[in-house]
Copies of this chain bind each other. A is one copy, B any other.
Amino acid sequence: MDPATTNAGRAAAAAGDRDLYRAAGFGRPVPRGKRPAILVVDFSRGFTDPAVPTGADMAEELAATRRLLDLGREKGVPAVFTTIAFDAAQLDSLPWLHKAPGMAALVQGSPLVAVDQRLARRREEPLIVKTGASAFFGTPLAAQLAAWRTDTVIVTGATTSGCVRASVVDAMQSGFHVLVPRDCVADRAAAPHEANLFDMQQKYADVIPLDEVLAYLGGLPAAAAAEGGRL
């Protein structure tokens, strides 16, 4: 096997797909709104600790997300975090835990469900507990974003091919424009990571470098952003 050839082949195929998608009317840029919010999906120790079976090394993506959060905090952009945490009483019946029993380690009270400390979550940043893949499914997240009068959701977290993808689809469906800073989403495997970035960029979100998202936040008027969730 020749990786260069493989990569070239993949690049050619992806370029062909991009043309196909363009002809079908996909892949256009989404507007950047005046009231963004930052969503941090499942950067909990169950995913960010490489010593855990469901985890992987996500140090770079965590550092990039911290940069995003810090600028957002400075500009008054609200942030919300999610974590997967099952009630022990649910473990027998939920279909997801038949397909992916590795998730069952994420029970309420386990240290695995805590948000990674490298993100320094603040008291005023809500933590949404979820039992599905999407940050929106079976949670009050859409209502929280609407209550903040959000127009644009910046999605970060793990994993790209799982809960991030599902959350991006739901954020778009819920009425928001979606940005995915590619430096801020992580996965345990490279091929699904890339394949899902491709899908998201074509169909649901702008997948862009972190620097572009930072420039967008930096350009927000201080007052408008600081108005935050207040009416």
CB-CB contacts below 8 Å: A201-231 with B: 202-206, 229-231
A143 engages B138 (CB within 8 Å): yes
B102 engages A25 (CB within 8 Å): yes
> How many of these chains are in the complex?
4
A192 engages B198 (CB within 8 Å): yes
Interface residue? A98 (CB, 8 A): yes
| Beta-carbon nearest neighbor of A104 in chain B | B25
A170 to B166, alpha carbons, bound, how many Å?
9
B-chain residues with CB within 8 Å of residue A25 when the two chains form the complex: 53-54, 100-105
B-chain residues with CB within 8 Å of residue A143 when the two chains form the complex: 94, 131-132, 137-138, 142, 173-175
Residues of A in contact, count (CB < 8 Å): 101
| Beta-carbon nearest neighbor of A142 in chain B | B142
- A57-65, A66-74, A109-117, A145-153 - interface stretch: A145-153
B-chain residues with CB within 8 Å of residue A162 when the two chains form the complex: 199, 203
Interface residue? A43 (CB, 8 A): no
A155 to B35, alpha carbons, bound, how many Å?
25
CB-CB contacts below 8 Å: A166-212 with B: 166, 169-170, 172-178, 188-192, 195-196, 198-199, 202-206
Residues of A within 8 A of B (CB): 1-3, 5-6, 8-10, 12-14, 16-17, 20-21, 23-28, 30-31, 33-35, 53-54, 87-90, 92-96, 98-105, 123-127, 129-134, 137-151, 161-162, 165-166, 169-170, 172-178, 188-192, 195-196, 198-199, 202-206, 229-231
